[in-house]
Amino acid sequence: MNSKYSEIMNDKKRIMMESVGIDYDAYEFEGIGFDYEKMMDDQGYQIDKIREIQKKNMVGNTPLVELRNITAYARKYAKKGYGARIFIKDEAANLSGSYKARRAALSVYKAKELGYKGVIAATSGNYGAAVAALAAKEGLKCIIVQETFDSKNISQPEILEKARKCESYGAEVVQLSVGPELFYMFLKLLDETKYFNASLYSPYGVNGVETLGFEIAEKMLEKEGKYPEAVIVTNAGGGNLTGTARGLKRAGATTTKIIGCSVDLYGLHMASDHDFNRKSFTTGHTGFGIPFSTFPDRSDVPRSAARPLRYMDRYLTMNQGSVFFITEALALLEGMERGPAGNTSLAAAFALAQEMKEDEIIVVQETEYTGAGKHSQPQLSFAKKNNVELFFGNPFDEKPGKNIIFPIDGSYIKYKEIELDTLRKSYMKHINVDELTNKDKEFLIEELNITTEQLTKIL
């Protein structure tokens, strides 16, 4: 087997295409674009089939819960007549404890359908546990490749927690230090084992999340007789937002605003050995959310099915301290102890609800399980060990990697907004804008969710 770094990396397109069972070349246009919708239609499944697969695997049909006490707390700081009702989709009820089981159920099903003997996923997050759990149910081998340590062999408690969870389902966990070896080792293992690439960014990974958006629309229509005004989605690689938005639209919720949200880790480089353990969130942050929005094809498949700029109406960020604050508020006010990912969006929903009328509805579209390493307390203890200061104050003064500032009270929980045109301009940096054909421009109008006039202005 080829084992040298350069040989493996030069052969990555072949390895990726063989391991996921898709001929991506069939969807390429001449120029920069590709037929995204055809790729999704050809490789995906109808929504009823996806729901059937997920139901068989104890995935989906999770509760939609109104957070009455959190809503009341938000209204305390809103002007009269304002303070939208906040609901949350409790995805911790899925097998393996997060919405990622929706993606895993479809990917593992496809792997077995195509005759692969095992699956591999590169993830330090909940997706690894989901793939391991679903592979165990289907009798497939499973390898999870994690970016786990810095050069001093120190790892965050949340990452170690997820490794233990994967191993408990019988998966082999390959743990690596931060840097380029993660993708190299992932490709090398795919080439050696001939296992299925259970990528987060394949059409199967994104189709699996469509049921989440579909259920939100379906359950809200049943409960309240209308679709929600806004759905807030924690954004990292973009598949969560893409799948949820597509599901909402499939169900008819075409006017619902899709709002992305990430933890603000501006200034910390995700591939930096120094910065690796100076953050308290391993996913759902700007270190993934912005790069994957502006260059989605940086993923482990030739063309990513996660295209957040196609669907996003707004993009908000929250500081780390506010997310920890709302995590505790959720436990104390609603009796729901949940992990950090969904609480990123809940913090944004808390602030945003105060700007919306009290008869309007915001849905936070996911929760996740919390465990020994994922709990706020070990994460904050770990931050202190890494000389990150913790104190109460104004969250807008927080400097990622240097301090975590908790809001003094709920009135201090505020979001920052990222202008989508800023992201669209960053997307353009990856292409030669001087050689765009009319076909290229048509692709960009769909890809960036803009008009011809807006494209001209951005160019």
Residues above pLDDT 70, as percent of the chain: 99
We report the CATH number of the domain holding residue 221 as 3.40.50.1100
Range of the domain at 301: 60-96+209-418
Q: What is the reported pLDDT for 180?
A: 83
Question: Residue with structure tokens 């919306």?
Answer: 356
Structure tokens at 68: 């009455």
375 in a structural domain: yes
* Digit-coded pLDDT (tens) for 279-323: 999 989 999 999 999 999 999 999 999 999 999 999 999 999 999
- Output the CA–CA distances (angstroms, integers) from residue 115 to 53, 60, 111, in the order listed: 17, 25, 6
The total domain count for the chain is 1
Structure tokens at 293: 């929005």
Q: Which of 169-173, 351-355, 432-436 has the lowest mean pLDDT?
A: 432-436
Q: What is the reported pLDDT for 3?
A: 59
Q: What is the reported pLDDT for 221?
A: 98
Average of pLDDT values for 431-451?
Answer: 95
202 in a structural domain: no
Half-sphere exposure of 288 (CA within 13 A, CB side): 22
Torsion of CA 300, 302, 305, 310, to 10 degrees: 110
432/80 Cα distance (integer angstroms): 51
pTM to 2 decimal places: 0.96
* Digit-coded pLDDT (tens) for 66-107: 999 999 999 999 999 999 999 999 999 999 999 999 999 999
Identify the sign of the CA torsion 88, 200, 160, 119: positive
- The pLDDT of residue 29 is above 70: yes
- The pLDDT of residue 173 is above 80: yes
158 in a structural domain: no
400 in a structural domain: yes
Confidence of residue 1 (pLDDT cuts 50, 70, 90): very low
379, 160 in Cβ contact below 8 A? no
Average of pLDDT values for 266-285?
Answer: 92
Q: What is the reported pLDDT for 281?
A: 92
* Digit-coded pLDDT (tens) for 104-115: 999 999 999 999
Among 188, 233, 225, CA closest to 209: 233
Among 321, 295, 280, CA closest to 157: 280
Average of pLDDT values for 402-430?
Answer: 97
Give the burial string for 329-344 (b: 16+ CB within 10 Å, else e). bbeebbebbbbbbbbb
Q: What is the reported pLDDT for 101?
A: 98
Angle between helices 340-353 and 320-334 (to 10 degrees): 90
- The pLDDT of residue 133 is above 70: yes
132/389 Cα distance (integer angstroms): 36
409 in a structural domain: yes
108 in a structural domain: no
Across all residues in the chain, what is the average pLDDT? 95
253/219 Cα distance (integer angstroms): 12
304/201 Cα distance (integer angstroms): 5
442 in a structural domain: no
160/373 Cα distance (integer angstroms): 7
157 in a structural domain: no
382, 248 in Cβ contact below 8 A? no
50, 106 in Cβ contact below 8 A? yes
Torsion of CA 329, 333, 338, 343, to 10 degrees: -40
